[in-house]
Amino acid sequence: QVQLVESGGGVVQPGRSLRLSCSASGFTFSIYGMHWVRQAPGKGLEWVAGMSYDGSDEYYVESVKGRFIISRDNSKNTLYLQMNRLRAEDTAVYFCAKDLDSYSFDGSAYDYWGLGTLVTVSS
Amino acid sequence: DIVLTQSPDSLAVSLGERATINCKSSQNIFYSSNNKNYLAWYQQRPGQPPKLLIYWASTRKSGVPDRFTGSGSGTDFTLTISSLQAEDVAVYYCHQYYNAPPWTFGQGTKVEIK
């Protein structure tokens, strides 16, 4: 069965960096676009970043452009999110999510989500 | 950016009664070239990740009970739970995946038992 397992969260001071990982199993990782979606405590969902199945395209929400970098290693079935110059407003649970449609990065619902990893930015 | 506005923010419905959630998009999210509305609905129970219920505005994901129905087109969409069950207590989100990013979610609607 499809599994997405995030790791790498924790408590970090403002201005520091953190790298999240999402380990995927149970499906052919290399043919699906993948995304990071976050949820601040008690708040709604916010799409953060996405990457095409082959890594050729990457997109970000405006608030993280220039600070976060999404990447993937299809040989390791793993998605990453490098988060630099972290701010208090980046505090959230970060979920990785899989595109419903294969080979279709533009325009897909997300059919599987991980349990999330909590990132807390605080001094 | 496309803004999705859900209404109401919360609702309380008796067991077995109908629950209706609306989602209004600030832009048309219907592609005439493929006749599809780029909208999904998710359910998030407390302490859990979101779960996909409906995609393409009205296609129910395999395994989702048929009491969940999605409808609408263009800018106005609805999620209907025909007969509310206890396990349906959750927050429900609409999500647009039209065109270029950023892809966005509605603010969520909390469904409780009356």
Shortest CA distance to A46 belongs to which of B55, B101, B80? Answer: B101
Helix, strand, or coil here: A89? helix
On the CB side of B36, CA atoms within 13 Å amount to 16
A51-70 average pLDDT score: 96
pLDDT at A105 over 90: no
β-strand pairing of B10-13 with B109-113: parallel
Inter-chain contact A107–B38, Cβ cutoff 8 Å? yes
pLDDT at A52 over 70: yes
Residue A70 has φ and ψ, to the nearest 5°, of -95, 145
| pLDDT confidence band for B97 (50 / 70 / 90) | very high
β-strand pairing of A68-73 with A78-83: antiparallel
Which residues on chain A are in Cβ contact (under 8 Å) with B106? 44
Q: What digits encode the pLDDT tens for the residues B26-70?
A: 999 999 988 999 999 999 999 999 999 999 999 999 999 999 999
CA B102 – CA A8 distance, rounded (Å): 24
pLDDT for the residue A106: 67
Interface test with A, best of B39, B43, B96, B97 (most A CBs within 10 A): B97
Which residues on chain B are in Cβ contact (under 8 Å) with A118? none
Kindly report the average pLDDT of chain A as a whole number.
Answer: 96
Given CB atoms, is A106 within the 8 Å cutoff of chain B?
Answer: yes
CA distance A24 to chain B (A): 16
DSSP secondary structure of B18-84: -EEEEEEESS--EETTTTEE-EEEEEE-TTS--EEEEETTTEEPTTS-TTEEEEEETTEEEEEESS-
